[in-house]
């Protein structure tokens, strides 16, 4: 079964500072812990490039309020993570309605996020557990 896709997706991409990979790998689990019980959280995972120095956080939320709540929740940890790696790109994908709110979010604008508006034709399938 599928329905219209209105989920807000964040895609921050990072490059680990030289000699900091082990420290980053020890640090990332705290983001899972912080985000696992957040209301409106749909999906949260890290993925790693074959080069061993780039990684991304693949995350989705029910709406812009859930994104704002999440960013506030992880803000201190994100600051510490950015001492170990560079944020090389930050994508925000959302509906036009959510986009108005997200473009006013200081964390997103301060990090130089690039905003992508969903075309309204997409779909999302329910995946069995």
Q: pLDDT tens digits for 32-72?
A: 999 999 999 999 999 999 999 999 999 999 999 999 999 99
In a domain, 113, yes or no: yes
So what's the pLDDT on residue 121? 87
Residue 128 scores a pLDDT above 80: no
Q: What is the pTM of this model?
A: 0.91
Which ranges of 36-125 does DSSP label H, i.e. alpha helix? 64-81, 96-102, 106-110
Confirm if 8 and 97 have CB atoms less than 8 A apart: no
Residue 21 lies in a domain: yes
Contact 119, 82 (CB under 8 A): no
> Parallel, antiparallel, or unpaired: how do β-strands 85-94 and 114-117 relate?
parallel
How does pLDDT run across 57-111, given as a tens digit for each residue?
999 999 999 999 999 999 999 999 999 999 999 999 999 999 999 999 999 999 9
Structural domain contains residue 40: yes
Identify the CATH number of the domain in which residue 91 sits.
Answer: 3.30.70.100
Structural domain includes residue 128: no
pLDDT, residue 1, reads 45
Print the domain residue range for 89.
2-120
pLDDT at 129 > cutoff 80:
no
Residue 125 lies in a domain: no
């Amino acid at each position: 079964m599928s329905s219209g896709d209105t989920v807000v997706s964040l895609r921050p991409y990072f490059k680990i500072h030289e000699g900091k990979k082990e420290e980053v790998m020890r640090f990332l689990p705290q983001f899972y812990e912080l985000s696992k019980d957040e209301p409106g959280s749909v999906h949260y995972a890290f993925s790693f490039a074959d080069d061993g120095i780039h990684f991304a956080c693949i995350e989705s939320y029910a709406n812009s309020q859930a994104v704002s709540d999440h960013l506030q929740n992880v803000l201190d940890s994100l600051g510490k993570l950015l001492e170990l790696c560079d944020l090389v790109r930050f994508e925000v994908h959302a509906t036009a309605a959510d986009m108005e709110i997200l473009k006013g979010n200081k964390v997103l604008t301060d990090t130089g996020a690039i905003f992508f508006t969903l075309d309204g034709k997409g779909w999302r399938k329910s995946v069995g557990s």
